[in-house]
């Protein structure tokens, strides 16, 4: 079959990898001149296989008013005259129940554990160099009540196969000595933490470039610098994509355009509840005391991931979720807040007085669904498949998402049931 994959982010590239192994003739199209130059470029670097609880949960609703009122809160809402934004928010609020959150966590864990197995297999076969390390993840809580709630989640997740343990402050410092810092640092605020030794980190962009080289070597056609403007259907079957490089025909199309996916599917009557949650990151050259374990500040929703970069050790700092439309333009105030956050947490990690450019500020749009589950597989339109909505877990879930969509396209039964990620659900 001739299959066209729209989008060369980590999700589109992973899909292409499994499609070409099924013997399809695969073309990948992207508007940028290189792969993974949008949300997959400088994300939080966490392969967070065991820590998948969705943003929508029962504890979130009471936090929303203070989050919305404080200028430095981790989540901010900028109202737009956009019915899609308001509909997404209403669906998000409705998803903030314990039942929905548990169900989504269960589904995401099945998908993420599958992704971990696929990553092991892919690395055994392709050996892509992307600073991949299994250095564990420590989520620290400064509020005793949130630590107590996290301990309950550990019990629930243990029943689903996660190996995590709850640690006291001293135990957290033993696992990550960079948390021993003085007054005002993140370490001084820790009430306790949840440690998951099996969690991994890796640079998503370097992985995508490595995968791109592999895809080209095994016959995938990459059409970079080509913008897709419309998908055209003849009756109920998609026939071609209109692009800045001319029409592109195919027997099947997989739309993996991240937060832009609904724009292409909506005119065909396929409405997807995907909205961008804008986030920020910094990539700091490590020059002093920095964590060796991946650390998450639960209260401030900031992750700190040590990366073995090609030019030396780096600390990827990522956070914030702004419900603010599709602009990727960085807000200097938010960048300043993230720098201040990192400086307070790990003051010795880098030279914070260096020019801002050396801290490599970046923004990306998480393609988020209200419930936190991705949308995978066939749609009511023949020949039209989607792979989107992985939100804050797109790097973690990319391989399993790509595998199950390729299975669906081939008419095989995927290892993970697609009913739970179906477009119509
Ligand atoms: C601050 C931040 C931190 C994050 N941290 C993590 C983390 O630690 N772990 C994790 O698992 N996930 C993380 N994520 C989420 C993860 O980065 C995303 O879920 C993932 O990158 C989405 O990949 P994608 O391929 O769907 O989208 P993208 O990478 O955005 O790819 C979509 C592609 O489509 C192309 N495109 C769009 N429109 C068109 C068009 N009309 N024509 C042609 N091409 C088009 C774009 O150029 C782009 O390359 C984070 C995200 C952010 C923002």
pLDDT of residue 425: 43
Tell me the longest C-alpha to C-alpha distance in the chain.
67
pLDDT, tens digit, 9 for 90 and up, residues 197-214: 999 999 999 999 999 999
Query: Parallel, antiparallel, or unpaired: how do β-strands 2-6 and 252-255 relate?
Result: parallel
Distance 256 CA to ligand 1 centre (A): 9
**Cα separations in angstroms, 83 against 29, 90, 260, 322:** 29, 11, 16, 17
- Cα separation, 295 vs 178, in Å, equals 10
Look up residue 95 and give its two tokens. 């998803």
Per-residue pLDDT of the chain (425 residues; tens, 9 = 90+): 999 999 999 999 999 999 999 999 999 999 999 999 999 999 999 999 999 989 998 888 888 787 777 778 888 888 888 999 999 999 999 999 999 999 999 999 999 999 999 999 999 999 999 999 999 999 999 999 999 989 988 988 888 888 999 999 999 999 999 999 889 999 999 999 999 999 999 999 999 999 999 999 999 999 999 999 999 999 999 999 999 999 999 999 999 999 999 999 999 999 999 999 999 999 999 999 999 999 999 999 999 999 998 889 999 999 999 999 999 999 999 999 999 999 999 999 999 999 999 999 999 999 999 999 999 999 999 999 999 999 999 999 999 999 999 999 999 999 999 999 999 74
Q: Report which secondary-structure segment, H or E, holds 258.
A: none
Taking the centre of ligand 1 as the mean of its atom positions, its distance from the CA of residue 393, in whole angstroms, is: 10
- The number of the ligand 1 atom at minimal distance from the alpha carbon of 280 is 1
Give the Å distance between the CA of 82 and the centre of ligand 1: 22
Residue the block writes with tokens 């995907």: 274
Residue 163: Cβ within 10 Å count: 12
Q: In angstroms, what is the span from residue 251 Cα to ligand 1's centroid?
A: 25
- Ligand 1 site-directed mutation target among 40, 46, 360, most atoms within 8 Å of CB: 40
178: CA distance to ligand 1 center in Å?
A: 30
In this structure, the residues whose C-beta lies within 6 A of any atom of ligand 1 are 7-12, 29-32, 36-40, 43-46, 48, 227-228, 256-258, 260, 279-281, 303, 318, 364, 366-367, 388, 390-396
What is the value of pTM for the model shown? 0.97
Distance 296 CA to ligand 1 centre (A): 21
Q: Count the residues in the chain.
A: 425
Residue 191 Cα to ligand 1 middle (Å): 33
How is residue 183 written in tokens? Answer: 């007054």
Indicate the helix (H) or strand (E) that contains 407. Answer: helix 394-410
- Which atom of ligand 1 sits closest to the CA of residue 30? 44
Q: What is the pLDDT of residue 165?
A: 95
Residue 281 CA, closest ligand 1 atom number: 1
């Amino acid at each position: 079959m001739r299959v066209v994959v729209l989008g060369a982010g980590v999700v589109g590239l992973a899909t292409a990898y499994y499609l070409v192994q099924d013997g399809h003739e695969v073309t990948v199209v992207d508007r940028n001149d290189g792969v993974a130059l949008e949300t997959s470029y400088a994300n939080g670097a966490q392969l967070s296989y065991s820590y998948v609880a969705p943003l929508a949960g029962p504890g979130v609703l009471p936090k929303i008013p203070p989050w919305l009122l404080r200028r430095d809160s981790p989540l901010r809402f900028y109202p737009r005259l956009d019915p899609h934004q308001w509909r997404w928010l209403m669906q998000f609020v409705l998803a903030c129940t314990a039942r929905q959150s548990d169900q989504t966590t269960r589904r995401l864990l099945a998908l993420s554990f599958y992704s971990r197995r696929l990553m092991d297999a892919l690395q055994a076969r392709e050996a892509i160099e992307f600073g991949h390390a299994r250095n564990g993840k420590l989520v620290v809580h400064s509020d005793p009540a949130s630590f107590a709630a996290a301990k309950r989640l550990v019990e629930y997740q243990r029943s689903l196969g996660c190996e995590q343990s709850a640690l006291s402050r001293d135990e957290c410092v033993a696992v990550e000595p960079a948390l021993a810092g003085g007054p005002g640092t993140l370490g001084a605020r820790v009430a306790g933490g949840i440690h998951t030794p099996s969690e991994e980190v890796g640079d998503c962009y370097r992985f995508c470039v490595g995968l791109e080289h592999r895809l080209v070597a095994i016959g995938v056609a990459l059409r970079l610098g080509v913008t897709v403007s419309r998908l055209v259907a003849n009756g109920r079957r998609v026939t071609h994509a209109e692009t800045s490089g001319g029409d592109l025909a195919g027997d099947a199309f997989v739309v993996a355009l991240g937060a832009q996916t609904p724009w292409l599917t909506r005119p065909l009557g396929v409405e997807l509840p995907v909205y961008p949650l804008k986030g920020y990151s910094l990539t700091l050259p490590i020059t002093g005391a920095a964590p060796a374990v991946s650390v998450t500040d639960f209260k401030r929703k900031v992750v700190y991931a040590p990366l073995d970069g090609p030019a030396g050790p780096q600390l990827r700092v990522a956070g914030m979720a702004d419900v603010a439309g599709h602009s990727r333009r960085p807000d200097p105030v938010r960048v300043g807040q993230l720098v201040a956050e990192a400086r307070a947490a790990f003051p010795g990690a880098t030279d914070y007085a260096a020019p801002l450019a050396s801290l490599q500020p970046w923004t990306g749009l998480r393609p988020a669904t209200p419930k936190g589950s991705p949308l995978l597989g066939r749609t009511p339109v023949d020949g039209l498949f989607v792979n989107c909505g992985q939100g804050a877990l797109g790097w973690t879930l990319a391989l399993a998402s790509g595998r199950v969509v390729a299975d669906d396209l081939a008419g095989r039964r995927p290892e993970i049931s697609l009913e739970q990620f179906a477009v119509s659900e």
